[in-house]
Amino acid sequence: MTVTLPDGTKLDLPAGATGADAAGAIGEGLLRAALAVKWDGEVHDLSAPLPDGVALEIITQRSGQDALDLVRHDTAHVLAAAMLELYPGVKISIGPAIDDGFYYDFEFPEGVTFTDADFPAVEKKMKEHVKADEAFLREDVTTAEALERFKGEDQPYKVELIEDLIANTGVETVSLYTNGPFTDLCRGPHAPSTKRIGAFKLQSVAGAYWRGDSNRTQLTRVYGTAFFDKKELAAHLELLEEAKKRDHRKLGRELGLYHFSEAAPGSAFWTPAGTTVFNQLVELSREMGDTRGYAEVKTPQLFDAELWKKSGHWDKYQEDMFLTQTGDDRPMGFKPMNCPGHFELYGLTKWSYKDLPVRFSEPGLLHRNELSGALHGLMRVRHFCQDDAHLFVTEDQLLDEITACIAFARDTYALFGFTDEDIKYELSTRPENRLGTDEFWDQAEGILADALKANGIAYEIGEGGGAFYAPKIDFHFTDSLKRSWQLGTVQLDYQAPERFDLTYTGADNAEHRPVVLHRALMGSYERFIGILLEHTAGELPFWLTPVQAIVLPIADRHADAAREAAATLKAAGLRVEVDERTESVGRKIRDAELRKVPYMLVVGDREAEDGTVAVRRHREGDEGSEPVADVAARLADVSASRSA
């Protein structure tokens, strides 16, 4: 048999050769470093037999996320092994690797309360398993054997998982992995042994309902992370500490931007300062959309159930919607997205090919029935507003319009200092639960791929990440703490025009179907503000910050001159305050620094007499004295250009 290595080299191996055989054939050093192998986009154990003719990659600790996922999955199993030893009778459920680490869910025996104070004892036991260099051994057994085993061990969650596999897929065998005394139901893959785990840390404890169902048992979820060496772990933990300082929920309180209340769970109460930030973003969307041919519309909040059935949301998305009914028992639903309202609006007008493309935008208020446990500050809310748009275009216009959407996204992100190096493009493809035929998805995914290639954009594939009605291009941003966030999206939809019977009259006087592009660039304004706060540590761009300058009179006798200076800045279009408290100017400066006000303008005797202000910039200190009019003109230019 023959496999192809990443550099194109052909490697001949005996029939039935494994990943370990391939690594050994290349060199003993690689065999010692090898963790797993990868082909056809999937990672497999080193012990897995290789198919003939595949393109093969040997996974080592230098293989990025694939390697980290392995070591973190390994560590989750080690955590479960330690828990079983320390807490006899504990029930284990699932323990996957996640973006920054891993977790495992447990049901502890009655009377046992597990907290982070228990971490040292668990970590000590885990280190024993790592030091023991326990091999991860895979065994494929019949479902009957697996059921018998886990019933005998009194592990009901494993039993339920196996029974569901049998019922839903008809599988006859499952795989088990054993490390030391612990055996788990697991698809794998795993590294060869526990000793490949270089460094780990348990981080937090949370509650989690079994299978996300609030009617089921609440389990204890233990989060942790793992790396190949202590230096990497230390660097990661340092970033986490910085992330705590930058938590947008903390910054939102400190900067006085918004609050949350149980009077409206999952919905922000915006203060005047926060509303200023919010409105600046909405205004940015409007300005940039207006020059690009977008027309703002306004559609209702509440729609008849028939509209949601027509769009497909009633079947595919109903559990995430807030539902109600009219006095005559007519079922209604609050909109979780703007799309169906825009489709209905388009359908209420007769359009010609000369009118297309039609570009509707709407900063529409949306509601989604998120689980209480999923709510997270501005990042996951029930009430929010999107910079949403829908484009109705002809087939011939598709490539140009997708290209224009990508350019619009790049121009928008640049205003916040996000460069192309910060943005990753992902083509998100068909999910399992979807509308439409495979032919439709092939066509739509192909068009989006062609648009990315035509614009010279390198992209990754997000398998199964598309919306239930359409594939999409997603824009991912890497922030200052090296975390990835999805921001905007462009979705190509052939389903909606069919379901809503949308048409336009062509040059041949016949009726034709438009194609719909769904486009959002910031996503929800709430979430975008949360991301910005954490990325900038609360130091928003000058043009966006709620108070751009604060005038600080040194004494009461300077108050009139300070007010006059503030009036000059306001007349130039700047957002400015005067701090007239009877505090020392040093205290006023300190408080303005804590509020992260970009400019502090001090007025004393000389400034009051000369019509100047002593300019002090946040975190940078004194910049000297300038005439008030010059400061106003300079800062107004910076604000208007959104250049800082």
- Residue in this structure with the two tokens 């785990």, named with its chain if needed: 197
Alpha-carbon distance of 388 to 550, in angstroms, equals 35
Alpha-carbon distance of 384 to 524, in angstroms, equals 6
Q: Report the b/e string of 59-83 with b at 16+ CB within 10 A.
A: bbbebeebbbbbbbbbbbbbbbbbb
Alpha-carbon distance of 413 to 395, in angstroms, equals 28
Alpha-carbon distance of 147 to 363, in angstroms, equals 53
Selecting among 44, 158, 201, 472, the annotated active-site residue is 472
Output phi, psi for 492, to 5 deg.
-110, 115
Decide: 604 and 551 in contact? Cβ < 8 Å.
no
- Residue in this structure with the two tokens 């592009």, named with its chain if needed: 517
Alpha carbon separation from 453 to 24, 269, 458, 471, 517 (Å, rounded) = 38, 43, 7, 16, 18
Alpha-carbon distance of 311 to 298, in angstroms, equals 19
Structure tokens at 449: 């791929």
**Crossing angle for the helix pair 143-152 and 156-169, to the nearest 10 degrees:** 160
472 a catalytic residue: yes
388 a catalytic residue: yes
596 a catalytic residue: no
Asked if the bond preceding 189 is cis, omega within 30° of 0, the reply is yes
376 a catalytic residue: no
Structure tokens at 184: 């788990």
133 a catalytic residue: no
Residue 518 marked as a ligand binder: yes
367 a catalytic residue: no
- The residue type of 364 is G
CB atoms within 10 A of CB 495: 19
Selecting among 61, 280, 386, 495, the annotated active-site residue is 386
Using only C-alpha atoms, what is the Rg of the chain? 29
Structure tokens at 471: 């594939």
Q: What angle do CA 400, 405, 408 make, to 5 degrees?
A: 125
Alpha-carbon distance of 403 to 161, in angstroms, equals 45
Say which residues have a Cβ less than 8 Å from residue 587's Cβ, sequence separation at least 6.
none
Which helix (H) or strand (E) segment is 93 a member of? none
Output phi, psi for 76, to 5 deg.
-60, -40
Strands in 305-437 per DSSP E:
323-325, 331-334, 358-362, 365-367, 383-393, 423-428
91 a catalytic residue: no
Structure tokens at 235: 């660097």
Selecting among 221, 236, 367, 518, the annotated active-site residue is 518
Selecting among 221, 368, 434, 527, the annotated active-site residue is 368
Selecting among 246, 390, 430, 596, the annotated active-site residue is 390
Which helix (H) or strand (E) segment is 114 a member of? none
Extract the annotated binding site for Zn(2+).
Answer: 339, 390, 518
Annotated binding-site residue numbers: 339, 390, 518
Which residues carry out catalysis?
339, 368, 386, 388, 390, 472, 518
